[in-house]
Structure 1
Amino acid sequence: MNILVLGGTQFSGRSFVEQAVDAGHHLTILHRSPEAPGLPEGIRHLIGDRDPKDPDNKGDGLGAIKQLLDNGERFDCVVDMCGYTPRVVRESCELLKDHTDLYLFVSTISVYPVSPDAQPSEDWAWEQLVQLDDEGVEEVTGETYGGLKVLCEQVVHEYFPDNHIIPRPTIIAGPHDPTDRVTWWTRALSTLDAVIIPEPPAGLAQFVDSRDLAAFFLKCITENITGTYNCAGPQPGLTLHQFINQAHTALNSSTKLLEAPHAWFKEHDLNPSRDIPTWIPDEMQSVYKVDYSKALEAGLENRPMGDTLRDVRAWDVDRGEPDLTAGMSFDRLQELVATHA
């Protein structure tokens, strides 16, 4: 198949590109970096920003795609890995609407409002999803991200009403993860004498391996599986404590797990999602209650969680264990461990 990827050099996009090339597909990638280390050979690279209004655009951007289209090229699928604002997504859809059979737009479970008890489903109407007070906003923040993705999805529906694929992933984990949310745990459980964890119950946990997500994308494209799909894992009903304990076992860890009441974390000014990655407050538990049965029925296959965790740890060691972008520092954590003891 002839596939155009918008983005595709980072994390889940990289996983998709690698798998698509391995499967023998022809890939063209539009991205901003003149260098894209680690990607397979045989890819056609187009350099530039997809946003025509970007003043820092260093390449041809959408103009490079237009030149291909003007020369008669047609794509079997467009994979949009980096659409964050409806204006920019509309530019791409308008250009490609008559030149592709499928349009895959990577969205997010952040399109669903957070609550303690809801179980978000693809059946929810637009009105039930996150709404923005100002639909013209283009700054992507924690407050606008979900609402902007909703508007992007609506644009894709407008241009590709019957031939869209819209995966809504939960937290994504795996090698090359720039967020370090799961990496924080794999490093902590591999290098520290002790960590402090919230005593149960501490809610649920969900994530999907970037490589499993990429495999699902490729399956949908090659088998013409259209529609919207919540993508999560690694196993239904996984609790935070099951995640931590299974990680402890998978990594053959000797780290002591010291439990503390939730009030203890508040007393020490610790924020669940900021300082203890993957732990979220009770009022936000719907984030980990996403119904992903539709994706499982369509062919999403989640690998054993231990495989993901061991691979993340190996990648982290291979990259030299740089400073983490998630969670409290380990120095701070060890100070708290001493206080707790």
Structure 2
Amino acid sequence: MRLLVLGGGGFLGYHVAALAHRAGHTVTVASRSGRAPLEGVEALTVDRHGDLSPLDGRTFDAALDTFSDPDAVRAAARRLRDTVGALGYVSGMSVYHPRGPAVPDERAPVRRPGEARDGDPLQERSLDKLAAEAAVAEEFAGPVSVLRVGIMVGPRDPSDRFTWWPVRLARALTGEAPRTVLAPGDPTRAVQYSDARDIAAFAVDVLARGQAGVFDTVGPGRAQPLATVLEGCLEGVGGRPGDVEWAWAGEDALRAGLTDVEEEERPLWFPEDQIPQDAIDSSAALAAGLRFRPAAETARDVLAWHRERGSPDLAAGFTSTREAELVRRCVSGAAPTG
């Protein structure tokens, strides 16, 4: 397959390009920087808000677009309609109506202008994603696949919200940080997230088949308790059950104690007030071949990537002092944290 990735230097786009290249496909990325994300991948310099002419005269079997600007997405779909066989677009689970079913599937109601509550941080970006979904369906002549993603984690995740856990746990195992680890909310609460590499593999597979449709791609495809995910992270960094003491804090107490920390700067899965659904039904994508790796594998690879990038600072999380303060304030009967 000759695959065009619009983007390709960041997070999901990078993993799509890398996986497709390793699978033997011919990969071209188009981005403003014009830099190839890895050896053996062609790069084109393309301005999504301006000059798309580097795409002229080029044909591809498939293309993937991850952009959120609906006008830019429409322009690209129109440009590629006669030169690309199949088109994929990456949308998000936030498009579902906040007053819809607790576990929506692809048929659930979506957001509409003017219906969000005041201060809903997802409304504007979700409407943009829905407009972009409509644009690719209207402008592109061939099969269109829409992947609605949720919280994506894994190597190269710029948010560091999942990365916090393997890094924090590794520091506990080496004695660099306390072995009492603040843990958020109810340990039995089910959580959903996806390793971006699993979504990338599904995207490449769907595009290679030219399969059309809308797919929820939120993992791990089953009700996985938060405690199980965190123990998986511990296993992934070389720990065993009992190597750390989880200090489980109530979500209400954490919410009150984190008013000065934006949700995007908190580790997963502290109170996720932006997410109104209990879970997302990804059974259609699972039936079409989507698979999710275990948390331990993601944690292991994320820790290795973090060490390779040589950056001790994380974009999300707390200092040891702040974490200890939260344990004292939010955990009843907490053990000493020193």
TM-score, L = length of structure 1? 0.84
Q: Distance in 2 between matches of 1:159 and 1:249?
A: 47
Given the alignment of the two structures, is residue 221 of structure 1 paired with residue 221 of structure 2, yes or no? no
Aligned to 1:107, the other structure's residue is in SS state strand
Given the alignment of the two structures, is residue 255 of structure 1 paired with residue 240 of structure 2, yes or no? no
Aligned pairs for 1:214-293 within 5 A: 214-253=200-239, 254-270=243-259, 273=263, 274-281=265-272, 284-286=275-277, 289-293=279-283
1:41 corresponding residue in structure 2: 39
Bigger mean CA deviation after superposition, 196-205 or 99-108: 196-205
Q: Distance in 2 between matches of 1:142 and 1:324?
A: 24
1:56 corresponding residue in structure 2: none
**Deviation digits for residues 151-210 of structure 1, max 9, x if unmatched?**
100111112376101111111111111111110111112213222223426632111111
1:313 corresponding residue in structure 2: 303
Question: How far 1:217 sits from its partner (Å)?
Answer: 0.9
**Deviation digits for residues 274-294 of structure 1, max 9, x if unmatched?**
5342233478351x5100011
Aligned length: 315
Classify 1:14/1:283 alpha carbon distance in 2 versus 1 (closer, same or farther; 3 Å): closer
RMSD: 2.5
Q: Give the partner amino acid of 1:157.
A: A
Question: How far 1:142 sits from its partner (Å)?
Answer: 4.2
Q: Distance in 2 between matches of 1:315 and 1:284?
A: 28
Question: How far 1:215 sits from its partner (Å)?
Answer: 0.9
1:197 corresponding residue in structure 2: 183
Verify the 8 A CA contact 1:114 1:283 in the aligned structure 2. Answer: no
Q: Distance in 2 between matches of 1:32 and 1:245?
A: 40
Aligned pairs for 1:104-253 within 5 A: 104-114=88-98, 118-124=102-108, 128-133=109-114, 142-160=122-140, 163-191=143-171, 192-193=177-178, 194-200=180-186, 203-253=189-239
2:82 corresponding residue in structure 1: 98
Identity of aligned residues (%): 31
**Deviation digits for residues 209-228 of structure 1, max 9, x if unmatched?**
11111111111111222211
Q: Distance in 1 between matches of 2:238 and 2:214?
A: 38
Classify 1:185/1:115 alpha carbon distance in 2 versus 1 (closer, same or farther; 3 Å): farther
Q: Distance in 2 between matches of 1:228 and 1:117?
A: 18
Q: Give the partner amino acid of 1:4.
A: L
Q: Distance in 2 between matches of 1:43 and 1:281?
A: 37
Classify 1:279/1:115 alpha carbon distance in 2 versus 1 (closer, same or farther; 3 Å): farther
Classify 1:235/1:292 alpha carbon distance in 2 versus 1 (closer, same or farther; 3 Å): closer
Verify the 8 A CA contact 2:62 2:87 in the aligned structure 1. Answer: yes
Verify the 8 A CA contact 2:155 2:305 in the aligned structure 1. Answer: yes
Classify 1:93/1:284 alpha carbon distance in 2 versus 1 (closer, same or farther; 3 Å): closer
TM-score, L = length of structure 2? 0.84
Verify the 8 A CA contact 2:8 2:14 in the aligned structure 1. Answer: yes
Bigger mean CA deviation after superposition, 146-155 or 263-272: 263-272
Q: Distance in 2 between matches of 1:216 and 1:119?
A: 22
Aligned to 2:219, the other structure's residue is in SS state coil
Question: How far 1:15 sits from its partner (Å)?
Answer: 1.0
Q: Distance in 1 between matches of 2:209 and 2:103?
A: 28
In structure 2, runs of 5+ residues without a counterpart are: 116-120, 172-176
Bigger mean CA deviation after superposition, 275-284 or 157-166: 275-284
Question: How far 1:250 sits from its partner (Å)?
Answer: 3.1
Verify the 8 A CA contact 2:136 2:144 in the aligned structure 1. Answer: yes
Classify 1:29/1:199 alpha carbon distance in 2 versus 1 (closer, same or farther; 3 Å): closer
**Deviation digits for residues 288-312 of structure 1, max 9, x if unmatched?**
5100011110001112221111111
Classify 1:13/1:204 alpha carbon distance in 2 versus 1 (closer, same or farther; 3 Å): same
Q: Give the partner amino acid of 1:236.
A: R
Bigger mean CA deviation after superposition, 89-98 or 329-338: 329-338
Classify 1:205/1:46 alpha carbon distance in 2 versus 1 (closer, same or farther; 3 Å): same
Verify the 8 A CA contact 2:160 2:267 in the aligned structure 1. Answer: no
